Chains A and B, each alone.
Chain A
Amino acid sequence: MMRSSSESKAAHEGNAERIVTVWPHHRWLGMGYLLLAVLAVGVGTLLSIAMRIHRVWPDWNVPLLGVLRPEEYLAYVTMHGTLMVFFVLTVAPQSGFANLVLPEQIGSREMALPLVNATGFWLTALSFVILLFAFIVPGGAPIGGWSAYPPLSVMADAGPGQALGMDTWLLSLAVFCIASTLGSVNTIVTVVRCRCEGMTWQRLPMTVWAWLTASFLTVLVFSVLLAAIVLLFCDRHLGTAFFVPSVQWLNGMVIQRHGDGSPLLWLHLFWFFGHPEVYIAILPGMGLVTMLLGNFAERRIPGYRMMIATTLMIGGLGVIVWGHHMFVAGLNPFAGTAFEITTIAIALPSTAKVLNWLVLLWRSHPRLDTPMLWALGFVSVFIAGGVTGPILAQPALDAYLHNTFFVVAHFHLIMAMAAIFGIFAGSAYWFPLVTGRMMHEKLGKFHFWWTLFFAYNTFLPMHLTGLSGEPRHYAQLTGIAGTAGDLVRNTIPLEKHITASALLLAAGQLMWVANVVWSWRRGKLSAPNPWTATTMEWMPMDARILPVCHRDPCHYTSAITGDHEFLPQWASAPVAE
């Protein structure tokens, strides 16, 4: 008995060792994307730590670096935002996870356009390398934030980093636009053309619907960003005036240009891209969470068609809400009201999703494995960040809250934390699929609770400092004259709490790194379908020759009576757990 179990263990162990060698091409790309995201999140987090420390300890003489100067602080702000938004929150959930499992989820062995897909990946990697160069070019990285408002982003003399640093940044993003468009074209074609027999649109897992919707958004809005970047480049180097007035003044210099443009045009183009971009970042997380809740609660997802519809509605409404970033930027006040209505409208499909999750979960007493904890945590922080959405959608209130820390709290909870929770959920969920081993459960759970606790401690207090009027992008809170100095200084006690929490939040992430590294080599061997999942990426190898999809996902039969049976999408008859 012992012998046979050790033999089978050895055979299994061999499987786990060999599993990497049987990764299909797209899975290698998916892992490449995830590796890029891990590198980017590492750098981006170090930058945020430097900023958080500087805010409460501005005179600290950092060994080798010295005291952080205001322009360095702002360069860190820009690079933190750029790395996180593009190279973490777009790359990991959209490009990374889709390449990991999308073809398998739709019963395909490969992506439709492998060459396009691979080109997308290598261009993304190139774009990442170019972006990092912005740190070391003369003048350093640009200081205008990730939204790069002109004329600050047009005039090389407007600040350190606005010359070569800004050009490097623009080049990096231009390459990124092309890369993500290629990747998304591949995703769209794959979903449309490569579904296996029986994989109808209504049987597609919500993850696939999310990747598909986000891909359509990507193709639409990244092309607009690319065009805007080209125009900005012309303004910088060819003397055009798309985003600046004909006569400009800067520090005693007068610059005459051909044409007469307006910075508002950039704001329109940028936010036409920028707002859908946050849905590109969060939709895959929402899709994954829906599937995980059904999987671990062992329940069908109620109103599956409505869940598909709300995903599409978020994508559709997502392209007509950009003006809510511009209520006080010079937008026509009537347009402000129009964008208020569309923004309130987009809160409804998101609310419908949350209600659906709660209905699904009610009295489900789910298995609380690590992926499920992250999914539940996602719901919690998504609500926390989501409830301030309808507040900021009201122009009258936004006219007070705009560019305060209230907004920082809003988008960090919903975009950073919820999306990151989705990434952690996905990594724990698919880890056995990719490596043949389980991640360490206890460490994974401890990491979850640690992250949830310190995420709330970091971002909830920002609402209060924001309500007191504290603006974003301030390089320091001391040394400001007048009553403005008092206003900003009054936030220091809460700022200290935020910094301490942020440091602990960041430090806790080392647990995840350790867990991945350890589990990959030593983790418990995983069963072929450890989560009793119903989606087709978990289909046994021998069934993959001619896969057929028989039903929509998450079919579990009366788990409460004890006869734990479930109906995976690939099985024609119930399978015992």
Chain B
Amino acid sequence: MIAHWPLPVDAALHGPALDRQLILNLSIFASLFLLANVVLLTAVVLRRSAPPLAHRRWRYELLPLLLLAALFFTLAFRSTRLWAASRYSGAEPAAMQVEVTGMQFAWYFRYPGQDAAFGTTSPRLIEPGAGNPVGIDPADNSGKDDFVRSMLVIPAGKEIDLRLRALDVIHGFAAPSLRIKQNAIPGETFHVHFTATVPGDYPVLCTQVCGLGHYRMQAIVRVLPPDQFHQWLIAQQQAQTTRVQP
């Protein structure tokens, strides 16, 4: 487990490379900030001379500009590779599907059940009080084994494909320890995929202001070792079966 202060614990497969890129950027730009301020201070306090650099602008202005441009684009190129790896293509077909639904002010996590297919939903069927917080259509057979939880439970070492939806307003799904952030927007479905590596309980926050309860819209993502997750999953599926066919 690598923890770079002040970053939170990093529990995602793509996390260490991202953290390295972030720390590299922070070191470079913090140094540039300090350097520029030292130069500024020196420039002002040094004894006055005839404008010593104005005639050598190529060396003191344009050359540093070219070098900085090269630096900026190199850093951007490095990070584009990370962005491309996580966003340009979707998850592997074998990835585990979980649907995340944001509503004022809670997150719900829907698992597709044994058929690995989510049932259709409709806003007209949403009834949190009746145990149907995301509006699963009871007429759709593939929805019968879907189950919804308020905690995101996932296995370590397996790729997860999250389907993000929002019911009312825009919500921001953020799991800092998994280095994942993606807004959920009403009327649209977005996917993000990742692999958790370190078992533990990590925070899920809302990072898009969504109303007066925005600050308390949170959940927990629980990463379990694969065997424990398997037991958890079987228990949930059995509970769902007994619920549907009492």
Residues of A within 8 A of B (CB): 69-71, 74, 77, 143-145, 149-152, 155, 158-160, 244-252, 254, 260, 262-264, 299-300, 302-303, 328-330, 333-334, 336-337, 340-341, 344, 347-348, 351-352, 354-356, 358-366, 368, 376, 379-380, 383-384, 387-388, 390-391, 393-397, 399-400, 402-404, 464-465, 467-469, 471-476, 479-488, 558-560
A475-B215 contact, Cβ under 8 Å, with A149-B208, A352-B65, A366-B44: yes
- In the complex the two chains form, is A402's CB within 8 Å of B181's CB? yes
Rounded to whole angstroms, the CA-CA distance of A204 and B135 in the bound complex is 64
Chain B residues lying within 8 Å of A328, measured Cβ to Cβ, are: 172, 181-183
- In the complex the two chains form, is B176's CB within 8 Å of A391's CB? no
Say which residue of B36, B54, B167 sits within 8 Å of A299 (CB atoms): B54
- In the complex the two chains form, is A333's CB within 8 Å of B83's CB? yes
Say which residue of A246, A396, A475, A481 sits within 8 Å of B79 (CB atoms): A396
Rounded to whole angstroms, the CA-CA distance of A491 and B204 in the bound complex is 17
- In the complex the two chains form, is B88's CB within 8 Å of A333's CB? yes
B111 at interface (Cβ–Cβ under 8 A)? no
Chain B residues lying within 8 Å of A363, measured Cβ to Cβ, are: 43, 46-49, 52
Chain A residues lying within 8 Å of B209, measured Cβ to Cβ, are: 74, 77, 143-145, 149, 152, 472-473
- In the complex the two chains form, is B201's CB within 8 Å of A483's CB? yes
Chain B residues lying within 8 Å of A254, measured Cβ to Cβ, are: 123-124
For the complex formed, measure the closest distance between the CB of B184 and the CB atoms of chain A, giving whole angstroms.
9
B233 at interface (Cβ–Cβ under 8 A)? no
24 A-B pairs, CB-CB below 8 angstroms? A150-B169, A151-B170, A152-B209, A158-B169, A250-B168, A302-B61, A303-B61, A329-B170, A337-B83, A337-B84, A344-B76, A351-B68, A363-B43, A365-B44, A365-B45, A365-B46, A365-B47, A396-B80, A469-B7, A475-B212, A480-B216, A481-B216, A484-B220, A559-B48
Say which residue of A70, A402, A469, A485 sits within 8 Å of B8 (CB atoms): A469
B40 at interface (Cβ–Cβ under 8 A)? yes
Chain B residues lying within 8 Å of A354, measured Cβ to Cβ, are: 36
Rounded to whole angstroms, the CA-CA distance of A105 and B223 in the bound complex is 65
- In the complex the two chains form, is B54's CB within 8 Å of A397's CB? no
- Quick check: which of B25-33, B139-147, B155-163, B235-243 contacts chain A, the rest being far away? B25-33
Chain B residues lying within 8 Å of A362, measured Cβ to Cβ, are: 39, 43, 46, 51-53, 60
| B12-31 interface bits toward A, Cβ cutoff 8 Å, 1 = contact, 0 = none | 00000010011001100110
A330-B80 contact, Cβ under 8 Å, with A74-B214, A262-B185, A360-B54: no
B232 at interface (Cβ–Cβ under 8 A)? no
- In the complex the two chains form, is A158's CB within 8 Å of B211's CB? yes
Rounded to whole angstroms, the CA-CA distance of A397 and B81 in the bound complex is 12
Q: Which 5 A-B pairs have the closest CB atoms?
A: A245-B187, A469-B176, A484-B218, A484-B203, A365-B48
- In the complex the two chains form, is B183's CB within 8 Å of A330's CB? yes
A329-B183 contact, Cβ under 8 Å, with A70-B212, A158-B211, A336-B83: yes
- In the complex the two chains form, is B168's CB within 8 Å of A476's CB? no
Chain B residues 44 to 89 lying within 8 A of chain A, measured CB to CB, are: 44-54, 57, 60-61, 64-65, 68-69, 72-73, 75-76, 79-80, 82-84, 86-88
For the complex formed, measure the closest distance between the CB of A526 and the CB atoms of chain B, giving whole angstroms.
25
- In the complex the two chains form, is A244's CB within 8 Å of B83's CB? no
- In the complex the two chains form, is B73's CB within 8 Å of A344's CB? yes
For the complex formed, measure the closest distance between the CB of A218 and the CB atoms of chain B, giving whole angstroms.
27
Which chain B residue shows the least CB distance to A464? B6
- In the complex the two chains form, is B170's CB within 8 Å of A152's CB? yes
Chain A residues lying within 8 Å of B196, measured Cβ to Cβ, are: none
Rounded to whole angstroms, the CA-CA distance of A274 and B26 in the bound complex is 26
Rounded to whole angstroms, the CA-CA distance of A380 and B34 in the bound complex is 10
B126 at interface (Cβ–Cβ under 8 A)? yes
Knowing that A152-B211, A248-B123 touch, tell me 11 more A-B residue pairs with CB under 8 angstroms.
A149-B169, A249-B135, A383-B33, A383-B36, A390-B29, A390-B75, A394-B79, A399-B181, A471-B207, A474-B215, A487-B176
Say which residue of B32, B44, B86, B208 sits within 8 Å of A387 (CB atoms): B32
Rounded to whole angstroms, the CA-CA distance of A476 and B213 in the bound complex is 10
Q: Classify chain B: how many residues form its interface, as a range.
A: 35 or more
Say which residue of B7, B76, B135, B212 sits within 8 Å of A394 (CB atoms): B76
- In the complex the two chains form, is B214's CB within 8 Å of A361's CB? no
Chain A residues lying within 8 Å of B132, measured Cβ to Cβ, are: none
A302-B57 contact, Cβ under 8 Å, with A152-B170, A251-B104, A467-B7: yes
Which chain B residue shows the least CB distance to A372? B44
Chain A residues lying within 8 Å of B48, measured Cβ to Cβ, are: 363-365, 559-560
- In the complex the two chains form, is B57's CB within 8 Å of A303's CB? yes
Rounded to whole angstroms, the CA-CA distance of A275 and B94 in the bound complex is 41
- In the complex the two chains form, is A479's CB within 8 Å of B216's CB? yes
Chain B residues lying within 8 Å of A151, measured Cβ to Cβ, are: 168-170, 186
- In the complex the two chains form, is B220's CB within 8 Å of A483's CB? yes
For the complex formed, measure the closest distance between the CB of B93 and the CB atoms of chain A, giving whole angstroms.
19
B110 at interface (Cβ–Cβ under 8 A)? no
- In the complex the two chains form, is B75's CB within 8 Å of A74's CB? no
Rounded to whole angstroms, the CA-CA distance of A351 and B67 in the bound complex is 11
- In the complex the two chains form, is B212's CB within 8 Å of A348's CB? no
Rounded to whole angstroms, the CA-CA distance of A559 and B82 in the bound complex is 54
Which chain A residue shows the least CB distance to B29? A387
Say which residue of A244, A391, A475 sits within 8 Å of B187 (CB atoms): A244
Rounded to whole angstroms, the CA-CA distance of A393 and B21 in the bound complex is 13
B109 at interface (Cβ–Cβ under 8 A)? no
- In the complex the two chains form, is B44's CB within 8 Å of A364's CB? yes
B154 at interface (Cβ–Cβ under 8 A)? no
- In the complex the two chains form, is A400's CB within 8 Å of B123's CB? no
For the complex formed, measure the closest distance between the CB of B26 and the CB atoms of chain A, giving whole angstroms.
7
For the complex formed, measure the closest distance between the CB of A155 and the CB atoms of chain B, giving whole angstroms.
8
B188 at interface (Cβ–Cβ under 8 A)? yes
- In the complex the two chains form, is A70's CB within 8 Å of B213's CB? yes
B118 at interface (Cβ–Cβ under 8 A)? no
Which chain B residue shows the least CB distance to A469? B176
For the complex formed, measure the closest distance between the CB of B112 and the CB atoms of chain A, giving whole angstroms.
22
Chain B residues lying within 8 Å of A252, measured Cβ to Cβ, are: 126
- In the complex the two chains form, is B207's CB within 8 Å of A403's CB? yes
For the complex formed, measure the closest distance between the CB of A72 and the CB atoms of chain B, giving whole angstroms.
9
For the complex formed, measure the closest distance between the CB of B224 and the CB atoms of chain A, giving whole angstroms.
15
Rounded to whole angstroms, the CA-CA distance of A404 and B218 in the bound complex is 15
For the complex formed, measure the closest distance between the CB of A341 and the CB atoms of chain B, giving whole angstroms.
7
- In the complex the two chains form, is A484's CB within 8 Å of B75's CB? no
For the complex formed, measure the closest distance between the CB of B242 and the CB atoms of chain A, giving whole angstroms.
28
Chain B residues lying within 8 Å of A356, measured Cβ to Cβ, are: 61
Chain B residues lying within 8 Å of A359, measured Cβ to Cβ, are: 53-54, 57, 60-61
Rounded to whole angstroms, the CA-CA distance of A180 and B202 in the bound complex is 47
- In the complex the two chains form, is A394's CB within 8 Å of B36's CB? no
B148 at interface (Cβ–Cβ under 8 A)? no
B210 at interface (Cβ–Cβ under 8 A)? yes
A249-B126 contact, Cβ under 8 Å, with A396-B82, A397-B18: yes
- In the complex the two chains form, is B205's CB within 8 Å of A336's CB? no
